[in-house]
Structure 1
């Protein structure tokens, strides 16, 4: 890197050391609690959908889920001449716990990129934001596509981070298979299960959700991108959105589906529909587990940033989630379904 860039980068290292109370940010250190929380806030602010879900710290690496939200009605009546009144726990607590696993977010920035940023007064913010925005993308990918937490991950084999952690949809498929419709055919063709998406969503809402959630006003319909074709929905308001905006933004669609507001979220499976409320989905991160080390690697002409934190993806109440998975649509030539 150039000498003027080196001066700016050294100031960035010094600032990281100052914020975290360490003398040398190039040696592995535990991120200070206030910095850890600030970083989590910035990650959440980087992606629209992460602002809607719960991103909360937990003290233990594993335990019972927090049960955020309301899981059942409270109203009732008891004849106290023969029985005691029995209060209800409105929090969704069951045998499903959570297990936060270490997730590494290791990135690098080439010297050439740092040199290009050196002319800007917000040099340090640019270095920081590149990492936080990618962590936001990664969390969306894992939440929608995560299948396992493998000891050694393989980005080539699993480009949507399917092997990094167990995501929300996997929890629904394995923890509540009775709330999943698979291989549903939707369209106006022979052999269809539903002629319209409205009918499929209406049916799934009433048949798969717990009855007291079916009329909840906070339910949304999250729609896969391949279902947004004009032939089937014609919903998008902002098809001309810049690539970077689409990568992090939740797209509000211009009509309801089955009476529920429809949205499209980055990295959601292209042929699926999820009916739930965003705050029924959570990301737990374990307090005090974020580690970091920033290394200058002249052998590769780059600066490397090693970060890790323990985290888990949680569906708070499976009774408030319905998944229509692997939707089939009629072929254009009406030769069948795919």
Structure 2
């Protein structure tokens, strides 16, 4: 299929508007994003995916450095015999490292023709802009939750969740604070009857409470910012059990309250969060860093591939602010169902 005249008109308007926004002449040649436009781009990314608003996105000056502390969860009140009390708020000492990161949001000619025929030029430009920013934003979370390495050449077929693009939050904690990760096999068995076997839990509340009381620092366990991220496989198993027993009044109440939280913590299931993972954390302590002055954009119609490509290049990386406020069960150690019988 060739690019339709309506789509050509829409693309021309989109390119002209994009060039005006970034203060450049053309956008089909790579251009540097100025500091004011970096702020606007970051704001657009935050608006496109709700969970990004809960974490911390920071511009930094260096490719390597210390994780920025955005707040202090320690006590701020006390006294000092010979002066004024201060609990202190310094750098955490955790390091971050950025890597060259290249994003490309493609739209095929077929899709461009469909968008061009579905509304006016303004609607077409909105779809183009939303497609790019949402894909870039979702990839930030996809890599943040699943990244384990930084490969010279990433392989999206072998690593569809960006496992080889950068080291995400869980991988950082695994390497730098492994005691915060539960490594023993865990069995979530909502159908359990009678005594539970070792490593077996009947409710998510019980499991999350144990994680909180054994892995989270005592000074942080009751902090209102502490939340739990729960994979969709686990929430589905919990909800199915509740639904099957929802003829009882108490179970109906529990089902209604299920989505509000677990273990007394506010609960989320973010995009691309592994289905059998549980992670306790302060969302604001999950960081994404972009080096100032490295952001570059390019938007072009590539005839050889019959698609339009919106590109975003920068140095980017991840950081965790306080390891003591982070705890997780890796999905490799989480099982849904009964624990095996103990060996004789």
Q: TM-score range by the shorter chain?
A: 0.7 to 0.9
Q: Which residue of 1 aligns with 2:247?
A: none
Residue of structure 1 in register with 2:138 after alignment: 137
Measured in 2, the distance between the counterparts of 1:177 and 1:153 equals 26
In the TM superposition, residue 197 of structure 1 has moved relative to its aligned partner by 2.2
| Superposition RMSD in Å | 2.4
Name the SS of the counterpart of 1:217 in structure 2.
coil
Q: Which residue of 1 aligns with 2:93?
A: 95
1:106 is matched with which residue? Answer: 104
Is this contact kept in 2: 1:235–1:255, CA < 8 A? no
**Match in the other structure for 2:216:** 209
Contact 2:105 2:131 in 1 (8 A): no
Q: Does 1:289 align with 2:282?
A: no
Equivalent residue runs for 1:31-50 within 5 Å: 31-50=33-52
Cα pair 1:71 1:317 within 8 Å, conserved? no
1:28 matched to which residue of 2? 30
Structure with greater proportional helix content: 2
Partner of 1:4: 6
Q: Does 1:260 align with 2:271?
A: no
The Cα of 1:14 is off from its aligned counterpart by 2.1
Cα deviation, residue 88, structure 1? 3.1
Distance 1:78 1:46, change over 3 A: same
Q: How many angstroms apart in 2 are the aligned matches of 1:107 and 1:61?
A: 25
TM-score of the pair, normalised by structure 2: 0.84
Partner of 2:45: helix, strand, or coil? helix
**Preserved CA contact (<8 Å) 1:227 1:233:** no
- Whether 1:309 and 2:311 are equivalent positions in the alignment is no
* 1:167 to partner: Cα distance: 0.6
Unaligned runs of 5+ in 2: 244-256
Q: Does the residue aligned with 2:186 lie in a helix, a strand or coil? A: coil
8 Å contact 2:204–2:238 — kept in the other structure?
no
Question: Is 1:128 aligned to residue 129 of structure 2?
Answer: yes
User: Does structure 1 retain, via aligned residues, the 8 Å contact 2:104–2:311?
Assistant: yes
Cα 1:286/1:235, change in 2 over 3 Å: farther
Q: Which residue of 2 aligns with 1:167?
A: 168
Q: What is the DSSP-based 3-state SS (H/G/I as helix, E as strand, rest coil) of the residue aligned with 1:106?
A: strand
Partner of 1:226: 233
Structure 1 CA distance, aligned partners of 2:307 and 2:167?
Answer: 32
Name the CA distance, whole Å, in 2 between partners of 1:234 and 1:138: 33
In terms of mean alpha carbon deviation, does 161-170 or 63-72 score higher? 63-72
Match runs of 1:58-69 below 5 Å: 58-69=60-71
- How far does the alpha carbon of each residue in 1:104-157 deviate from its partner, in whole angstroms, 9 at most, with x for none? 111321222222222422211111111111112211111110111111100111
8 Å Cα contact 2:105-2:136 kept in structure 1? no
